[in-house]
Structure formats: structure tokens, C-alpha cells
């Protein structure tokens, strides 16, 4: 804030203006501002954007990225991140597909076995990530990059590089178009995950510990927190969420895909950081990340409507990630 | 005498703190000007302004009577102002010679003239007579040796102004003597030297003039020959002795033992430490930097590699391999690290989370859900009781002053019903007012039965805050002195390893 004295002496320079802008971003967050700008821009550019049907499309498409972004947020809060979420989704998709092929006529058994197997695979991947990060203190970047590469290879190997086609129709009709209490299953799953994760992060000691570890691992350790255990749990729980995403996404595309979800790791990090989650850990919340995910999907949708090519879109998304990190630095720098 | 460097009405404001309040300061060529004051008095801020690391908000700086705007540390060096801080600017992986010439390497046709640089480094280091090999890597040197290399680097080209920030803090007697000799030589050659120190006894030996700062203001400048320790302390604190330190009531020897350490050794230099801390007692641990006093606190919570020994807390004995913060907390002891921002606090989290982070299990219902209302009331209680300002549970800890941060750390221990407090430099970087409040608070805690291990570099705290004082030297406790028998001279003798025999050459026997 500038003092009257500074104003009087003409010292309200770029620094002071920067402070004002930062104050605004601090108060409402950057994302609502950007989002409003985007909505206005696309609405002016195309009358097909701000329609009930298109908004519903955006939100439905965003569900999967929202869950992955929440998982990513959990890991980001502890000061790490997870690059292996995409290939984990691909492996889940293959495993689920293969399990379903074994049970073409038994919906209940098929769903139970395929669902459990899929979630177990992703949880296992998360546990291995957590194991190396917490016990051997391998940097998350290395652990999850190696995991991403290895799991992607495994998914291609198991599927021999081709999608698993011919999944029983009950799968998609239950987990994609099915409804419980009138709510589509993917919506219900996302809402449940948001509620459970909100409780976990803000109403239990687990959440406090994760924030503490991300904020200052040494202080967390001196407060008697088992840093290793809680790091391990963060990666493992993120794995569960990734497994659920893999399951739902497979139901949506209707086949087991060995390259499903490849763009998720970077998009989820971008969504979380845009939503105010700090890449340095210990700061941000899952609703910001969810909003970030909706923002990215909305951006893609708007660019599609305007006929911007996929290649250009990739360039814009990349630029946006860098921008998000710059803004993260700017908002969260020590004052 | 003409002034070499002059600060006039310099003001520097940090968020929430007026670090320098219209401070004026003058340095002559060829003088050693000591700068003293409590932590937070503004000494560091002032020299950082001279060194180009901070830009003043108002005021002027004159070098050789010409106004200058010191834009950066690099610019300060070009102007002939060199500063040697506690955090050394050496690159550990490079050799001594490479460090000394870093950024101004001698070359011939683009090729480094290594032999010439080594030879000149040797000349430069020769002044110290400290036997440092220019080819040695800095990471292989001892801390005092590194400090001498840093000084050699700073004086390779003799500066006009040399700023030394607590130069003797990490030096032993021998290196201190070497440094004094060098400083006198530089003074002869007309260099102006600003000497920041906490050791008042140094002033009489090396300084020509002394400036005292307090709370960001200039208090007094006087010839070193006219100072006495009592006068300086009154200037530094603005109070007489008796107003600062609480009265010390003796602890009866039949109160129960709260913490017992037996035969504690680490692979990093602690040797066979034995100590007994009774409930209601504040036991001070003193010694030079590097004496192992800080390591002792760290070893108790497993931050140092403990090789043998055992610790008994509330009747429970923990063997060496079981020492950890978690175990100590389980048995009622909490460690408060000296580096509060780096190790003690979650600086980007709110006050209330910091206070309850070690006690969350007490605020749970149904086995896992947090009782936020009860948590908040408890936090507000402690904010009031410890007079934490601002009284806002949701304020980020990094926005608080050092003193209030320390209070938040203490509250974290109190909310857990801690009975043994292991505190490393608890008043470091804290203003006088808050210091007094913390001394009083610790004495209140002790009266209520808490046991406090008080590790400090501040001799006055050892003398005036602690019931007993243990002095460490080279990883061992060399003496334990009750409050009534402790004096500055006696403690300082132990600091330098003069044990009973008082032999002058016993200091660097090792």
C-alpha cells in the first residue's frame, strides 16, 4: 500500500501499482478475473459459446481433469508433484478393459472386478511413488518421471500397442451415462471426491500435516509429524483418485486405451497453479484447482469453437503454464 | 578529520518495522569504528545499506564527501566498500585461490594464469600465517579458515571501507589475534573499518570509536576509551540491568529431575555429555560458536547423528537410537530451533495452525474430525496470554516480528502441556521489549514447574536468566556454575577452555 507521503512526493511508481494489482489478485484470486475475461471474449467472438448446451459440455468434459487436478493438488501441497498420473490412467484403462472382456455377461462381477483392479493398479503406482519420495528422498520429479516412462511402457506392452475394443455395453451405460438419484455417475463421483477431499484437507489432522510438510518439512518433523508416513499417504491417496479417473474415462471412451490421459500431468499442474496452489507447497486449496481445471477446458472449448487449430492450442496452453508459474512467484513471494 | 563514509538521516522501512529511523553515522579513514546494539537494533540494516544490499527509503550517503547512490553489492565494491558477513560468499567446490580471484581472474589471452593467482593468493594468505593452502578446496577448510579466506578475498585489492559483521563470532583465540593484527595493518594504511560485534570486551582492544544503536535509532557515538560495559548495556537496552532481567529464585535440590542426559556423544563432535535438569530450573548452556552447544539441542531430537548415550524424561529412558522429535514430544519435551523461519515455523501458514500443529489429536472428535471452534478458542486464549501482536489467529506467521514468532513457537509448546523446553537461541533477532517479556514468561513457566534448557550465545542471558550455567568447549561440558557463582570473567575463561589450570597455551592444544 502506498502512503499519502509517497503519493505526495510522487513516489507512486510501478512498484506501488504492482502492489495494488497484487493486492487485488490476493483478495479474489487471479482465476476469477481471468475466467471472466475469457467468458466475455469468447461470448463476443462466437454466439455458440455462452449456450446452455455448451456450458454443460464444458463442465462434463472438465470432470476428469477436475479429479486429476485435485489429486495433483494433494501432492503439490506437500511440496511435490506427480508426472506419472497420465500413464497411470492409461494402464488403468488397459487393465479395466482386459478384466471386462473376461466378464461380458456379468455386469455386477465385471464392474466390481474391473473397478477394483483399476483402482488397485493406480493406488499401487501412487504407493511406489510415495515410497521412493518419502523413504529414499528421491526428488518427486525424478521418481514420477521415471514412473511415467515405465508405466507408459507397461501399458503399451500389456496392450501390444492397440486399444482393447469390444467392452461390454453395461460398462459405459453404468459409469458414463448411468445415473444415481438422477445425477450422472461421473458428476456424482466428482462431487463425492470434492466433498471427501475437502473434509480430509480442512477438517482432519491429515490435511493440516500435508500443508505443514509442504510449508516447512523440518518444522513439521520437529512438531512430531511423521513426514515420511504422510508423504507416502499423499501419493497413495492421489493414486486412488487417479484410478477412479481412469475407470470413468475408460467408460467414456468405451475402450481400453494405452495412451489415454497423456496430457493430464501437465494440465493438472497448470490447473492447480492457476487456481492458486503454490508449486512450492503448503499453499492453495482444491476448489481453486477445480476452477483451474474448468478454466483450461473452457479455454480449449472456446478455441475449438473459434476454429483455432490443435497445434496453436498446445502452444497457448504451454505459454499459460509458464504465465501461471510467474504469477505464482509474484503472488507468493516473501514480503 | 575528514569523513570517509557518512550516512545522514538514513531511513529504511520494512513491512511493519521501521528498521532505520533517521540514522546518522560517520566513519573516518584509518579508524576502527565499532557498531554495537541488541539484535534488531538496525546494525545489520545499516551496513547492508552501505554494502549495497538494501536501498534506503530516505537520507543520503556520502563517500569522500560526495553523495552516492549505492545501487548494488557490485556497485559498492566498485566504490571501494567491501563487506564480510557471517554468511560467507565462498564457493565450496572451488579452491581457495579460485575463490579469492572469483570474478576478477587474471588471464593471458583468455587463458587463466593459475600459477600467478596461486602465488598471489599465498601472499595474501601469508598475512594470516594460518597455513592455508591456496589449492585446497574451500569445503575442506575449517570454519575459521574459511572466514580468513573470505577476508583475504575482500582485501585482495585494499578497499576504502571494510565492513566486518561479527568477525570473531566463529573464530578461536588464535584466528582472532591474527584478525586483529590484519585490521590494525589496514587501519595504518588508511582503510576505514566498521566492526559489528556483540563482544564488548573486543571494543577496548581494537576499536577507536563506538556507536550504539537501539530500535533503529542512533543512540550515541563515543571514543572507545570512554566506554564501560555497564554504560554500553544501558545505552543498548535503554534500561538498567535490574529492569531487564527477572529475579532468580534458587531451585531446591530435591525437586524431581525432569531431564537427565547420560554419556551423550555424536559422530559430529559431542563427547560424553552428562547433565541433569530439574523441574522448575532454567539451565543455561554457553560456549563459543562451534563449541557444540547448538549441537546438544539438536542431538536430543535426533537431528545430529547420536552414537551413544541415553536420555531420561519423566522417568522414561530413551536410548541413543530412539532420540527423535516425535519421541521427545511423546514424553513432554519440545525442541525450539534457533532458526525459527527455517526449521521452527510454518511461515506461510496462519498463526493458529502453527500453534496447534503439534497438538491436533487433542482437538479431534469421532476420532478424526477437527473441533475447529474449540481449537480457535484455545488459540485466542494463548494469543491473549502471550500478548501476541497482531492478535489475529489467521495472520500468516511470516508477517509477524521475530519476537511474536517466538511467542507463537512457545504457544505451540504450551498448548501441548510441554514440561521440558529445549530452546536454542530463543531471543535471537528479537527486540528488547519482547526479550524482557520472554524472560519473564520463561521464569513464570519455571515457577509452575517447567524445566528449561536454555542454549544461548548471549553471556548476559547466561548470567542473568539462568539458575545454573553449563559451559561447553570442544564438544564437552567443561564446567557447571550456579547463578550465584557465575561471573563474566569466569564464564569467558571456560569459553576458551581454561579449565582450572588457567594456562594460556592450553587453548589450542587440540
Round to whole Å and give the CA distance between B409 and B388.
11
Do residue A335 and residue B325 have CB atoms under 8 angstroms apart?
A: no
How many CB atoms are located within 10 Å of the residue B448 CB?
Answer: 10
Residue from the list B301, B326, B348 with its beta carbon closest to the beta carbon of A282: B348
Whether residue A118 contacts residue A124, with contact meaning beta carbons closer than 8 Å, is answered with no
Residue that finishes a domain, picked among B195, B227, B243: B243
B338 domain-assigned: no
Q: Answer yes or no: do B432 and B446 share one domain.
A: yes
pLDDT at A1: 40
- Of the candidates B190, B210, B243, which is a domain's last residue? B243
Contact assessment for residue B332 and residue B419, using Cβ atoms and an 8 Å cutoff: yes
Cα gap B333→B56, rounded to integer Å:
44
> With contact defined as beta carbons under 8 Å apart, do A293 and A66 qualify?
yes
Structural element, H or E, at residue B425: none
Find the length of chain A: 335
Q: What contacts B113, CB < 8 A, 6 or more positions away?
A: B106, B107
Question: Do B161 and B274 fall within a single domain?
Answer: no
pLDDT of residue B15: 75
- Which residues of chain A make contact with B352, given a CB cutoff of 8 A? none
B23 shares its domain with B63: yes
Confirm or reject contact between B368 and chain A (CB < 8 A). yes
Residues B260 and B235 in one domain: no
Using DSSP's 3-state secondary structure scheme, residue B271 falls into coil
Domain end marker among B191, B216, B243: B243
Same domain, B466 and B401: no
pLDDT for residue B510? 31
Q: Is A79 near chain B, with CB under 8 Å? A: no
Whole-angstrom distance, CA of residue B323 vs CA of residue B310: 9
Q: Does A283 touch chain B (CB under 8 A)?
A: yes
Contact: A212, B353; criterion CB under 8 Å:
yes
User: What's residue A82's pLDDT?
Assistant: 96
Q: Note whether A212 contacts B399, CB cutoff 8 Å.
A: no
Asked whether residue B156 falls in the same domain as residue B47, the answer is: yes
Kindly state whether residue B258 falls inside one of the protein's structural domains: yes
Looking at the domain assignment, is residue B343 inside a domain? no
Concatenating the DSSP letter of every residue in B48-103 gives HHHTTSS--SEEEEEETTEEE---SHHHHHHTTEEEE-SS----TTSBHHHHHTTT
Is B358 near chain A, with CB under 8 Å? yes
Q: Per the CB < 8 Å rule, is B358 touching A223?
A: yes
Q: Which of B8, B35, B7, B11 is nearest to B21 (CA)?
A: B11
User: Phi and psi dihedrals of B112, rounded to 5?
Assistant: -65, 135
Do residues B281 and B430 both lie within one domain? yes
Q: What residue has cell string 520429479?
A: A141
**Strand-strand pairing, B107-108 and B111-112:** antiparallel
Residue of A224, A226, A230 to mutate, interface with B, max B Cβ within 10 Å: A224
ipTM: 0.85
Flag whether B340 is in a domain.
Answer: no
B348 at interface of A, judged by CB pairs closer than 8 A: yes
| Contact (CB<8Å) A224/B330 | yes
- B380 plus B295 within the same structural domain: no
> B339 in a domain, yes or no?
no
Q: Which ranges of chain B have pLDDT less than 70? A: 1, 16, 39, 241-242, 499-510
B323 touches chain A (CB under 8 A): no
Does B341 map to a domain? no
Residue B85 lies in a domain: yes
Q: Give buried/exposed letters for B231-261 (b at 16+ CB in 10 A, else e).
A: ebbbbbbeeeeeebbbebeebeeeeeebbbb
B329 touches chain A (CB under 8 A): yes
| Contact list, A215 vs chain B (CB under 8 Å) | 346-349
pLDDT of residue B244: 77
Residues B135 and B49 in one domain: yes
B489 and B361 in a common domain: no
> CATH number for the domain including B38?
3.40.50.300
What does the alpha-carbon distance between residue A135 and residue A124 come to, in Å, rounded to a whole number?
A: 16
CB-based contact B325:A219 (threshold 8 Å): no
| Domain boundaries, position B120 | 3-243
Which one of A208, A332, A335 has the shortest CB-CB distance to B360? A208
8 Å CB contact of B345 and A219: yes
Residues 6+ apart with CB under 8 A from A196: none
Residue B68: the pLDDT is 92
Contacts of A205 in chain B (CB under 8 A): 360-361, 364, 368, 370
Nearest CA in chain A to B416: A223
Distance between CA atoms of residues B355 and B433, nearest Å: 22
Is A220 within 8 Å of B346 when comparing Cβ atoms?
yes
Total of domains in chain B: 3
Centroid of chain to Cα A65: 5
CB B264 within 8 A of CB B272: yes
Instruction: Walk along chain A (335 residues) in steps of 10 and give the mean pLDDT of each run.
Output: 41 56 65 87 91 92 96 97 96 96 91 96 97 92 96 95 93 92 94 96 96 96 95 98 97 93 92 90 92 94 92 87 78 57
Residues B252 and B238 in one domain: no
Interface touch A205/B360, C-beta < 8 Å: yes
Collect all residues of chain A within an 8 Å Cβ-Cβ radius of residue B412.
223
Delineate the domains of chain A, giving CATH numbers in brackets.
29-329 (1.10.3470)
Do B37 and B115 fall within a single domain? yes
CA distance B345 to chain A (A): 6
Nearest to B46 by CA among B232, B220, B213: B213
Beta bridge partners of B257: B278
Please give the model's pTM, rounded to 2 decimal places: 0.81
Within-domain flag for B88: yes
Residue B399 contacts A, CB cutoff 8 Å? yes
Task: Return the residue of A nearest to B303 by Cα.
Answer: A222
Closest by CA position to A222, among listed B450, B413, B284, B260: B413
Cβ pairs A/B, distance under 8 A: 74
Buried b (16+ CB within 10 A) or exposed e, A46-63: eeebeeeebeeebebbbb
Amino acid at each position: 500500500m502506498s502512503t499519502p507521503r509517497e503519493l505526495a512526493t510522487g513516489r507512486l511508481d510501478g512498484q506501488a501499482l504492482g502492489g495494488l494489482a497484487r493486492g487485488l489478485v490476493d483478495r479474489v484470486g487471479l482465476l476469477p478475473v481471468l475466467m471472466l475475461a475469457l467468458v466475455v471474449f469468447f461470448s463476443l467472438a462466437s454466439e455458440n459459446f455462452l449456450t446452455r448446451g455448451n456450458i454443460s459440455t464444458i463442465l462434463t468434459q472438465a470432470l476428469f481433469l477436475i479429479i486429476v487436478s485435485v489429486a495433483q493438488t494433494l501432492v503439490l501441497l506437500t511440496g511435490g508433484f506427480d508426472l506419472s498420473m497420465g500413464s497411470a490412467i492409461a494402464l488403468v484403462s488397459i487393465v479395466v478393459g482386459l478384466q471386462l472382456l473376461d466378464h461380458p455377461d456379468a455386469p455386477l462381477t465385471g464392474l466390481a472386478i474391473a473397478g477394483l483392479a483399476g483402482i488397485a493398479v493406480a493406488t499401487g503406482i501412487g504407493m511406489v511413488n510415495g515410497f521412493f519420495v518419502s523413504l529414499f528422498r528421491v526428488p518427486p520429479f525424478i521418481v514420477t518421471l521415471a514412473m511415467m516412462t515405465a508405466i507408459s511402457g507397461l501399458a503399451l506392452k500389456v496392450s501390444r500397442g492397440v486399444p482393447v475394443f469390444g467392452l461390454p455395453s453395461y460398462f459405459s451405460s453404468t459409469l458414463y451415462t448411468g445415473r444415481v438419484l438422477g445425477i450422472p455417475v461421473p458428476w456424482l463421483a466428482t462431487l463425492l471426491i470434492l466433498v471427501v477431499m475437502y473434509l480430509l484437507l480442512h477438517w482432519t489432522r491429515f490435511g493440516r500435516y500435508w500443508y505443514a510438510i509442504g510449508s516447512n518439512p523440518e518444522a513439521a518433523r520437529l512438531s512430531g509429524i511423521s513426514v515420511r508416513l504422510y508423504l507416502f499417504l499423499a501419493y497413495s491417496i492421489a493414486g486412488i483418485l487417479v484410478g477412479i479417473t481412469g475407470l470413468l474415462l475408460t467408460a467414456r471412451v468405451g475402450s481400453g486405451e494405452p495412451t489415454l490421459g497423456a496430457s493430464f500431468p501437465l494440465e493438472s499442474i497448470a490447473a492447480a497453479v492457476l487456481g492458486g496452489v503454490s508449486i512450492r507447497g503448503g499453499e492453495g486449496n482444491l476448489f481453486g484447482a477445480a476452477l483451474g481445471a474448468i478454466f483450461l477446458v473452457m479455454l480449449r472449448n472456446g478455441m475449438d469453437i473459434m476454429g483455432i487449430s490443435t497445434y496453436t492450442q498446445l502452444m497457448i496452453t504451454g505459454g499459460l503454464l509458464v504465465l501461471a508459474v510467474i504469477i505464482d512467484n509474484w503472488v507468493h513471494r516473501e514480503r | 578529520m575528514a569523513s570517509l563514509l557518512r550516512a545522514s538521516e538514513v531511513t529504511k522501512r520494512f513491512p511493519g518495522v521501521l528498521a532505520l529511523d533517521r540514522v546518522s553515522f560517520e566513519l573516518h579513514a584509518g579508524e576502527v569504528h565499532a557498531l554495537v546494539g541488541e539484535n534488531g537494533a538496525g546494525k545489520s540494516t545499516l551496513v547492508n545499506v552501505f554494502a549495497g544490499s538494501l536501498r534506503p527509503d530516505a537520507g543520503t550517503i556520502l563517500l569522500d564527501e560526495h553523495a552516492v547512490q549505492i545501487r548494488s553489492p557490485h556497485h559498492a565494491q566498485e566504490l571501494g566498500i567491501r563487506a564480510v558477513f557471517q554468511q560467507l560468499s565462498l564457493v565450496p567446490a572451488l579452491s581457495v585461490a579460485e575463490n579469492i580471484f572469483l570474478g576478477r581472474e587474471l588471464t593471458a589471452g583468455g587463458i587463466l594464469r593459475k600459477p600467478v593467482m596461486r602465488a598471489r593468493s599465498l601472499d595474501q594468505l601469508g598475512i594470516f600465517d594460518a597455513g592455508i593452502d591456496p589449492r585446497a578446496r574451500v569445503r575442506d577448510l575449517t570454519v575459521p579458515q574459511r572466514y580468513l579466506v573470505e577476508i583475504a578475498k575482500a582485501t585482495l585489492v585494499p578497499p576504502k571501507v571494510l565492513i566486518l559483521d561479527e568477525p570473531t563470532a566463529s573464530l578461536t583465540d588464535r584466528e582472532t589475534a591474527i584478525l586483529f593484527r590484519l585490521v590494525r595493518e589496514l587501519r595504518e594504511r588508511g582503510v576505514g573499518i566498521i566492526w559489528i560485534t556483540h563482544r564488548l570486551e573486543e571494543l577496548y582492544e581494537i576499536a577507536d570509536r563506538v556507536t550504539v544503536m537501539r530500535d533503529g535509532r542512533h543512540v550515541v557515538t563515543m571514543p572507545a576509551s570512554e566506554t564501560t560495559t555497564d554504560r554500553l548495556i544501558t545505552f543498548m537496552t535503554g534500561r538498567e540491568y535490574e529492569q531487564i532481567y527477572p529475579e532468580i529464585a534458587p531451585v531446591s535440590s530435591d525437586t524431581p529431575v525432569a531431564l537427565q542426559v547420560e554419556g551423550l556423544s555424536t559422530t559430529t563432535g559431542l563427547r560424553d555429555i552428562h547433565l541433569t535438569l530439574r523441574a522448575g530450573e532454567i539451565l543455561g548452556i554457553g560456549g563459543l560458536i562451534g563449541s557444540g552447544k547448538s549441537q546438544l539441542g539438536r542431538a536430543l531430537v535426533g537431528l545430529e547423528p547420536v552414537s551413544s548415550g541415553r536420555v531420561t524424561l519423566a522417568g522414561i529412558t530413551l536410548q541413543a537410537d530412539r532420540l527423535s522429535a516425535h519421541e521427545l514430544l511423546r514424553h513432554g519435551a519440545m525442541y525450539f530451533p534457533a532458526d525459527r523461519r527455517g526449521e521452527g515455523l510454518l511461515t506461510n501458514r496462519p498463526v493458529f495452525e502453527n500453534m496447534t500443529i503439534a497438538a491436533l489429536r487433542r482437538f479431534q472428535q469421532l476420532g478424526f474430525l477437527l473441533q475447529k471452534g474449540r481449537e480457535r478458542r484455545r488459540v485466542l486464549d494463548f494469543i491473549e496470554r502471550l500478548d501476541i501482536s497482531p492478535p489475529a489467529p489467521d495472520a500468516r506467521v511470516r508477517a509477524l516480528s521475530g519476537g511474536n514468532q517466538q511467542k507463537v513457537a512457545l504457544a505451540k509448546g504450551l498448548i501441548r502441556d510441554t514440561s521440558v523446553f529445549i530452546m536454542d537461541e530463543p531471543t535471537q533477532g528479537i527486540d528488547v521489549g519482547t526479550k524482557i517479556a520472554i524472560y519473564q514468561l520463561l521464569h513464570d513457566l519455571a515457577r509452575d514447574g517447567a524445566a528449561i534448557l536454555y542454549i544461548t550465545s548471549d553471556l548476559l542471558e547466561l548470567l542473568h536468566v539462568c539458575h545454573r550455567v553449563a559451559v561447553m568447549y570442544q564438544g564437552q561440558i567443561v564446567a557447571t556454575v550456579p547463578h550465584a557463582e557465575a561471573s563474566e570473567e569466569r564464564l569467558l575463561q571456560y569459553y576458551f577452555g581454561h579449565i582450572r589450570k588457567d594456562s594460556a597455551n592450553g587453548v589450542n592444544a587440540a
